[in-house]
Amino acid sequence: MADVVLRDVVKNYGALPVVHAINLDIAHGEFVVLVGPSGCGKSTTLRMIAGLEAISGGTVRIGDRVVNDLPPRDRNISMVFQNYALYPHMSVRENLGFSLHIAKRPKAEIDKAVAEAAEILSLTPLLDRKPGQLSGGQRQRVAMGRAIVRHPDVFLFDEPLSNLDAKLRTQMRVEIKRLHQKVGTTIIYVTHDQIEAITLADRIVIMRDGHIVQIGTPLEVFERPVNAFVATFIGSPPMNLLPATVAGGALRLADGSTIPMPPGLSVRDGQAVHFGVRADNIMPEGHSMPPTAHMAHVEMPVTLTEPLGTETLLFATLAGTEVQAKMLNPRPVRTGEVLRFGIALDKCHLFDATTGASLRV
């Protein structure tokens, strides 16, 4: 077990920089998720920690060793790949025991470790099969088993669930979390799926174009996004953003209508902004809107409804922009019906229209 520290870590492919001087401190035993859109440099960062990719600048430290120049085998890490990368010519047993076999551990010890890992991941009945004879979920578990057998300092996961169907993905997500509780090893997990990130992480690292945009607990990044990118990337459905102008202590929307200024913001008069509100904070009146001190009210025609069971997602139009709102304890809503919505202003955000930065203080 060990902590992992990245200091000004840079990766260039030729002249092309793909990771720009990132800094990251991961505590011993922590579950950290790197999340961001495809191509933002998550895998590259992970592979530099693993030693599969040379580090162009900065230092990577695992435990008390700077590992920049160590090959993967000397870093005491294990990794689960997106395509699992099981050895197709070996049985599940041999796959699980491979690292110990390479380390020339005694046979009895290997057998014991393999049996233990197989037990944790319910792979015992499959030990003599080849990877080709396993289902996607089983392969995934073998890949995880191969990672835990050697008790590494750090687990690295690169989008391990993206090849599974939705149901299995949810199931494996729970298994991974349970595994972390059981073994307590530091985990660095890469995904492009913000739901995975929120559900799994102790801390989320949000990346974009090779930069770290925000680091924080799931709640922090959800409630206090540093900019409009994080605000729309984290959370489902994504946060509604409405173009607006600050005018005399209120917000003037595109159609000239105004809503009161949300509290706790630093703005100047005339500033062009984006008004951000999550679907959870804009609800039709009379449908269990939790009461807050600062409420605004708007009337919007509903253009589409998406019933989700306990709630219905309402698509409506506000000042020419499509807005998603939530209706708790839903009742049937006709298309075109005009409803009165309440907006919980103290949960709303403002972002500078040009920089995208949050204007919360």
Judged by beta carbon distances under 5 to 8 A according to partner kind, the member of Mg ion, another protein, ligand ADP, none in contact with residue 44 is ligand ADP
Which residues lie near another protein (CB under 8 A)? 50-52, 71-73, 77-79, 81, 83-89, 95, 98-99, 102-103, 130-134, 136, 139, 146, 150, 163
Residue 173 binds which entry of ligand ADP, another protein, Mg ion, none, with Cβ cut-offs from 5 to 8 Å by kind? none
Least separation in angstroms between CB 88 and another protein: 4
Residue 104 or 334: the one with the smaller Cβ distance to another protein is 104
For 297, residues 6+ apart whose C-beta sits below 8 A from its C-beta are 285, 340, 341, 342, 343
Smallest distance, another protein to C-beta of residue 73, A: 5
Position with the least CB separation from Mg ion: 43
Tokens (6 digits) for 128: 């003599």
Burial of 320 (0-12, 13-18, 19+ CB in 10 A): exposed
Q: Cis peptide leading into 332, omega within 30 of 0? A: no
**Cβ proximity to ligand ADP, 17 vs 63, nearer residue:** 17
Contacts with Mg ion: how many residues (CB under 5 A)? 1
CB 276 within 8 Å of CB 240? yes
In terms of CB distance, is 43 or 358 closer to Mg ion? 43
- The radius of gyration of the chain's CA atoms, rounded to the nearest angstrom, is 24
CB 324 within 8 A of CB 240: yes
CA angle 210, 214, 218 (to 5 degrees): 125
Any contact of residue 43 with Mg ion (CB under 5 A)? yes
Is residue 194 a contact residue for ligand ADP (CB under 6 A)? no
The Cβ of residue 164 has, within 10 Å, a number of other Cβ atoms equal to 18
Q: Are strands 31-35 and 203-208 parallel, antiparallel or unpaired?
A: parallel
Answer yes or no whether residue 12 interacts with ligand ADP by CB under 6 A.
no
Contact 247, 258 (CB under 8 A): yes
| Residue 54 near ligand ADP by CB under 6 A | no
Closest to 191 in 3D by CA, of 178, 206, 212: 206
Give strand pairing partners of 8. Answer: none
Q: Does the protein bind ligand ADP through residue 44 (CB under 6 A)?
A: yes
- Tell me the closest approach of the beta carbon of residue 40 to Mg ion, in angstroms: 9
State the binding partner of 217 from Mg ion, ligand ADP, another protein, none, CB within 5 to 8 A by kind.
none
Residues whose CB is less than 8 angstroms from the CB of residue 291 and which lie 6 or more positions away in sequence, other chains included: none
Torsion angle, alpha carbons of 195, 199, 203, 209, to 10: -10
Q: Of 162 and 303, which has the nearer Cβ to another protein?
A: 162
We find the least distance from the C-beta atom of residue 14 to ligand ADP, in angstroms, to be 7
> Strand, helix or coil at 74?
helix
* Comparison of 51 and 218: residue with beta carbon closer to another protein: 51
- Give the residue, chosen from 18, 92, 110, 339, that forms a contact with ligand ADP under the rule CB under 6 A: 18
We find the least distance from the C-beta atom of residue 92 to another protein, in angstroms, to be 10
164 binds ligand ADP (CB under 6 A): no
Binding site for ligand ADP (CB under 6 A): 13, 18, 36, 38-44
